[in-house]
Structure 1
Amino acid sequence: MKLARFSIDGGEPRIGRVDDDVLVDVSDVPGVGTSLRAILPDLESLAPVIRAADGPAYALADVRLLPPIDDPQKYLGIGMNYREHAEEARAAGIPIPTSQLWFNKQVTCLNGPYGDIVKPDVSDELDYEIELGVVIGRECRHVSVEDARSVIAGYVVANDVSVRDWLQKRSPTFTLGKSFDTHGPIGPWLTTDDEIADPLDLRMTLSVNGEVRQDWRTDDMIYDVYEQIAYLTQVFTLKPGDILATGTPAGIGAPTGDFLKVGDVVRAEIEGLGVIENRVVEESIVVHP
């Protein structure tokens, strides 16, 4: 099942079931409402009712798709988790970690699947990273590798947009360079775990202005999705709606200096999950009192 957050003509967010090119509004189904994160713990019991619901239907082209999860408590990313990407990072002078390397993306970076990516005025090193996004479905701690799949609600396409000079040079942690506003586009919807036979064997591609930059499979992860969940839950509790960006393959812009520019269109696609596409725009500075 594919579940989207959407709005029509700037109205309030709603929840919809995606059936091919049609979106069926299921917000009025008892127990659903308008927060996808809120229903994740009950999604298994709600799923049959949502699948059978016959609410108002809209063409996907006529709605605005929003981030499927807009209010996670945590958005975490793992660094250098694909073998070839780790090697290209080494070539760029970044040492390969000897264990899982995790960082925070502040949740204010979240962006919709077709929202604009703002190029910050303070940097010319704006980079892209296609990633399989894992959405946690239930509260969990001390999860074994063998049981890790049972806590996954589903998956999204993620672009872990990175500001390289703030990431590697201007801050002692990754957090700032990973957390600029709009630099967390996800979507286009949540694809529930039962729809994906094997999340460890999906093709992922990213193109800039139609030129393919990344084309890899998730089976090249150094630490797979289940190992990641087991590792994190040794430390803290994962909550429903928490997002894990599970690493990017080779082909990022940093090794060649081929960074994103204003006007570029970045398209990211993962097999079985759909496509997100975001245009890079110039920053408009708003000064808040």
Structure 2
Amino acid sequence: MSVKSAAASAPFAPFSGPFAIGTLSASGGAAFPGLVAPDGRGLDLRTALGEPALTTLALLERWDETLPRLHALAADRAGAWLSLDDLRVHAPVEPRQIFQSGANYRQHVIDLAVAHRAPDDPRTVEEARAEVAAVMDKRAAEDLPYVFIGLPTTISGPYDDVVLPARAEKPDWELELAAVISRPAYRVTVEEALEYVAGYTIANDLTDRATVFRRDMPPIGTDWLRSKNAPGFTPLGPWIVPAGSIADPSDLQVTLKLNGETMQDESTNDMIFGVARLISYISQTARLLPGDLVLTGSPAGNGIHWGRLLRDGDVMDGSVTGLGAQRTRCVAEEAR
């Protein structure tokens, strides 16, 4: 599948800065780390850096020392550049760990709480929204993000089909900004947290709303294994745009269109906890590794809000300011 997928053709979308990093492959060849130019060209970094066995993850593991060389290569127009039209675009990295932030967009949380009200809830919609808004304010004041862990096997390419499992009764979209870690981070402060970010990419963190909450034992709460971890349920990319090319990760527009109709269109400034706070919070418990993903949560406008969930044949177009765009087509498991 080239950058223009046979399943759902997607035009090349430029990104911020002089270059981005992708994982590419030529027809029938092995995947390789690629330097991508804003005009739609790619450079094989195995050859350009003289390392035949180089992977994107290995590149991220020594990001700080390699970054100046990447800038120099991007400025050299005489390299062996290839057209992305002739290459397949894969997920930009295969992470070892995925940390997912839940309930991190104020408007999104309010919408979900109202949508999941019990039928006999005596509150009006306005009363319910006001109560949830107060809870969000309390969370922000107490500085308590909500983070859970996802599986690397959920990662799929930015133009790959998304298979909707037969068991998923209410599959939904959740477009998000994702931070890509550049070096091991453990117990880092909020002030230094962004120093551990190689760059940013786009993630669509799909969710089966029907299995988010345990029906057999409600006190257990959420079941993220069943609701979020189907194979390919996290289309990622297309690119990792270096952090230095993104002026402010808290001021980016997150937009998802379903079959051409805008469903999500919200700024990251609606996040309750920003990228630095999330990384610092996670690092107080876990050690983040190069290539790990920190998904920052989904803004308002999910299918559960619109009363329209994903189904066979749907096409999702997702974009985040300065990071390019992805396009994925939904295919019912039965149809395969």
Instruction: Give 1:41 shift.
Output: 3.0
Gaps of 5+ in 1: none
Which of residues 248, 252, 256 in structure 1 aligns to 2:298? 248
Partner-residue secondary structure (3-state), 1:158: strand
Which of residues 146, 158, 166 in structure 2 aligns to 1:113? 158
**Which structure has the highest strand share of the two?**
1
Partner-residue secondary structure (3-state), 1:226: helix
Matched to 2:241, the amino acid is T
Alpha-carbon contact 1:202-1:270 (below 8 Å) kept: yes
Matched to 1:43, the amino acid is W
Structure (1 or 2) with the larger CA radius of gyration: 2
1:86 is aligned to 109
Aligned in 2, Cα 1:123/1:41: closer, same or farther, shift over 3 Å? Answer: closer
Alpha-carbon contact 1:77-1:104 (below 8 Å) kept: yes
2:179 is aligned to 134
Instruction: Give 1:231 shift.
Output: 0.7
Summarize the alignment of residues 97-176 of structure 1 with structure 2, pairs less than 5 Å apart: 98=139, 99-169=144-214, 172-176=222-226
Alpha-carbon contact 1:159-1:186 (below 8 Å) kept: yes
Aligned in 2, Cα 1:254/1:169: closer, same or farther, shift over 3 Å? Answer: farther
1:65 is aligned to 89
**Which structure has the highest helix share of the two?**
2
Alpha-carbon contact 1:5-1:13 (below 8 Å) kept: yes
2:8 is aligned to none
Superposed CA deviations along residues 75-125 of structure 1, whole A, max 9, x for unmatched, are 111111011001101102377674322122211010001011111111231
Aligned in 2, Cα 1:249/1:172: closer, same or farther, shift over 3 Å? Answer: closer
2:251 is aligned to 201
1:38 is aligned to 58
Matched to 2:50, the amino acid is P
- Could you state the TM-score of these two structures normalised by the residue count of structure 1? 0.93
1:23 is aligned to 42
Summarize the alignment of residues 250-269 of structure 1 with structure 2, pairs less than 5 Å apart: 250-269=300-319
Aligned-pair identity in percent equals: 34
Counterpart CA distance in 1 for 2:169 and 2:79 is: 46
Alpha-carbon contact 2:211-2:223 (below 8 Å) kept: no
Superposed CA deviations along residues 230-278 of structure 1, whole A, max 9, x for unmatched, are 1111111111111011011100011333101110000100010010110
Aligned in 2, Cα 1:4/1:234: closer, same or farther, shift over 3 Å? Answer: same
Alpha-carbon contact 1:156-1:187 (below 8 Å) kept: yes
Counterpart CA distance in 1 for 2:334 and 2:148 is: 27
Gaps of 5+ in 2: 1-18, 118-131, 216-220
Alpha-carbon contact 2:32-2:56 (below 8 Å) kept: no
Alpha-carbon contact 1:103-1:175 (below 8 Å) kept: no
Instruction: Give 1:172 shift.
Output: 4.1
